[in-house]
């Protein structure tokens, strides 16, 4: 067993030259189905005969759901993104991948990937959710809890596509709250990985073990660029979820959760990690090098842990003009995205006060020697994020 990356050079090249093939037409997360279709159209032209795009059904509101097929190899690799409409990071990474293939058709790595694997890609499985930038479908259903009842057309499309092709390997592409850390490290989890359990006992079989090897290879790739920022997602069995069931139905499945990164609200660095990570692993699947990874790099990942705030003002003196004694406290603030007629912007909400020394933060502001008028906000208050700096005296 090795814990070395099989093709570190290819991975490094993908990372270092990313700006030359990044799909620049998308630069923010709130793109919708119509834009995606326009982009797929232009990528189809640049990919020539290397891609087929087939409408395989419609969403609840009848937006098209499409299957992209690249390659002619015997190892089928299935990817689906944005089952949750407000989780678009991987969809952007997939467009980058298509652009990379278009620009590097004749490279040895692309030829190897396309001759050994068949990539089956459903980008934006939940276009109605994407339209509203919400998690759930237009029927208000969480598609990721509909794998058994199959009441949504989106869920039926996902299951029937898996059943039709019976792919060897699958990637279930999501975004998570950017406030998770890697174990107790205080490091933000930029990406969390999971080889989902297929039963309550969380036992291993050949299918899940292969998923763990793929996840291990991905861990080794991501460690090159974000070492200490990769976590393992909770592996409790969820009988209604797709990842767990697709594992059970025989496709070795890896969940990729795009998390958070400092000063990256649009998740552009995480999009890059999705692109570089997946392309590297496609190559490793094509050469079957990942089979030598073993499962240790994945097994040893610390758990995804929720103990991060956006901002903590540390040890500030809270003053109470009504006569209560001053106290020293840490103040935690989370940013919330607000959309209104003026556009999209961020507000902060004070979410905790007191000794917060066990928590991490994307930004820590020293409050030592400074005071904050405790009547200027209440716990749970919304305030413009920068206000906290203005309020500090
Ligand atoms: Zn999700």
Contacts with 235 (C-beta within 8 Å, 6 or more apart), sequence order? 194, 195, 196, 197, 202
In a domain, residue 1? The reply is no
CA of 47 to the centre of ligand 1 (A): 29
Domain shared by 182 and 76, yes or no = yes
Query: What is the value of pTM for the model shown?
Result: 0.92
Does the residue 127 lie in any domain?
Answer: yes
Q: Are residues 241 and 367 in the same domain?
A: no
d(CA 104, CA 274): 18
Q: How far is the CA of 254 from the centre of ligand 1 (A)?
A: 13
Residues 99 and 190 in one domain: yes
Query: Is 3 within a domain?
Result: no
Q: Are 179 and 110 in a shared domain?
A: yes
CA distance 169 to 255: 11
Over the stretch 272-329, which tens digit does the pLDDT of each residue have? 999 999 999 999 999 999 998 799 999 999 999 988 999 999 999 999 988 899 999 9
Same domain, 132 and 157: yes
In this structure, the answer to whether residues 207 and 154 fall within a common structural domain is yes
CA of 266 to the centre of ligand 1 (A): 16
5 confidence band (pLDDT: 50, 70, 90): confident
Q: Tell me the average pLDDT across 85-90.
A: 98
* Same-domain status, 315 and 255: no
Statement to judge: residues 269 and 343 lie in one domain: no
Give the pLDDT confidence of 56-78 residue by residue, as tens digits: 999 999 999 999 999 999 999 99
**pLDDT tens across 177-214, in order?**
999 999 988 899 999 999 999 999 999 999 999 999 99
Instruction: Measure 240 CA to ligand 1 centroid, in angstroms.
Output: 14
In this structure, is residue 218 part of a structural domain?
yes
Alpha-helical regions (H) of 227-346: 242-248, 268-287, 296-299
What is the tally of structural domains in the chain?
2
Q: Which of residues 278, 305, 332 is at a domain's end?
A: 305
pLDDT tens digits for 319-351?
Answer: 998 889 999 999 999 988 888 888 777 888 999
Asked if the structure places residue 75 within a domain, the reply is yes
Q: Specify the CATH number for the domain of residue 384.
A: 2.30.40.10
Report CA(176)–ligand 1 centroid distance (Å): 7
Distance from Cα 370 to the centre of ligand 1, integer Å: 40
Question: Do 79 and 158 contact (CB within 8 A), yes or no?
Answer: no
Q: What's the chain's Rg over C-alpha atoms?
A: 22
134-174 pLDDT, tens digit per residue, is 999 999 999 999 999 999 999 999 999 999 999 999 999 99
User: Are 236 and 136 contained in the same domain?
Assistant: yes
Tell me, yes or no, whether 215 lies in a domain: yes
d(CA 392, CA 367): 8
The pLDDT value recorded for residue 3 is 57
In this prediction, residue 1 carries a pLDDT of 45
**Whether residue 319 sits in one domain with residue 277:** no
**Domain annotation covers residue 335:** yes
- Reduced to 3 states (helix: H, G, I; strand: E, B; else coil), residue 194 is strand
Tell whether 253 and 313 lie within a shared domain.
no
- 67: domain CATH number is 3.40.630.10
Q: What is the rounded average pLDDT for all residues in the chain?
A: 94
Task: Decide which of 280, 305, 330 is a domain's last residue.
Answer: 305
DSSP assignment letter at 168? S
Q: What is the pLDDT of residue 75?
A: 98
142 C-alpha to ligand 1 centroid (Å) = 9
Q: Which domain holds residue 258?
A: 8-305
CA of 243 to the centre of ligand 1 (A): 11
Domain boundary among 270, 305, 340: 305
Domain identity same for 209 and 340: no
Q: Is residue 297 part of a domain?
A: yes
pLDDT at 388: 82
Report pLDDT digits (tens) over 243-277: 999 999 999 999 999 999 988 989 999 999 999 99
CB under 8 Å to 134, separation ≥6 — which residues? 85, 86
366 alpha carbon to ligand 1 midpoint, in Å? 34
Q: How far is the CA of 233 from the centre of ligand 1 (A)?
A: 12
């Amino acid at each position: 067993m090795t814990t070395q990356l099989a093709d570190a050079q290819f991975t490094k090249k993908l990372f270092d030259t990313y700006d030359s093939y990044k799909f620049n037409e998308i630069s923010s997360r709130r793109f919708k189905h119509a834009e995606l279709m326009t982009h797929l159209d232009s990528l189809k032209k640049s990919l020539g005969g290397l891609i087929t795009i087939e409408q395989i059904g419609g969403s609840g509101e009848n937006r098209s759901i499409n299957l992209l097929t690249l390659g002619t190899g015997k190892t089928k690799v299935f990817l689906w993104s944005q089952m949750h409409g407000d989780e678009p990071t991987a969809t952007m990474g997939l467009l980058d991948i298509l652009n990379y293939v278009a620009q590097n058709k004749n490279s040895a790595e692309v030829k190897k990937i396309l001759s050994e694997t068949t990539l089956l890609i459903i980008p934006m499985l939940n276009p109605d959710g994407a339209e509203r930038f919400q998690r759930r479908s237009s029927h208000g259903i969480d598609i990721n809890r509909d794998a058994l009842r199959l009441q949504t057309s989106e869920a039926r499309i996902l299951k029937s596509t898996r059943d039709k092709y019976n792919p060897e390997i699958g990637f279930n592409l999501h975004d998570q709250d950017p406030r998770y850390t890697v174990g107790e490290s205080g490091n933000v989890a930029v990406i969390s990985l999971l080889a989902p359990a297929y039963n309550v006992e969380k036992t291993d079989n050949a299918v899940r073990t292969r998923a763990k090897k793929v996840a291990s290879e991905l861990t080794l790739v991501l460690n090159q660029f974000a070492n200490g920022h990769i976590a393992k997602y909770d592996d409790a069995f969820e009988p209604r979820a797709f990842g767990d069931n697709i594992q059970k139905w025989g496709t070795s499945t890896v969940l990729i959760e795009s998390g958070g990164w400092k000063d990256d609200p649009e998740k552009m660095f995480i999009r890059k990690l999705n692109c570089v990570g997946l392309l590297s692993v496609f190559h490793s699947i094509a050469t079957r090098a990942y089979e030598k990874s073993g499962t240790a790099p994945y097994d040893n990942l610390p758990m995804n842990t929720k103990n991060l705030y956006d901002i903590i003002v540390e040890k500030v003196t809270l003053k109470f003009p009504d006569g209560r004694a001053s106290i020293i406290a840490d103040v935690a603030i989370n940013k919330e995205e607000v959309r209104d007629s003026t556009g999209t912007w961020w507000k902060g909400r004070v979410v905790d006060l007191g000794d917060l020394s066990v928590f991490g933060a994307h930004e820590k502001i020293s409050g030592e020697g400074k005071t904050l008028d405790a009547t200027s906000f209440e716990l749970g208050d919304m305030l413009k994020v920068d206000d906290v700096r203005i309020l500090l005296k």
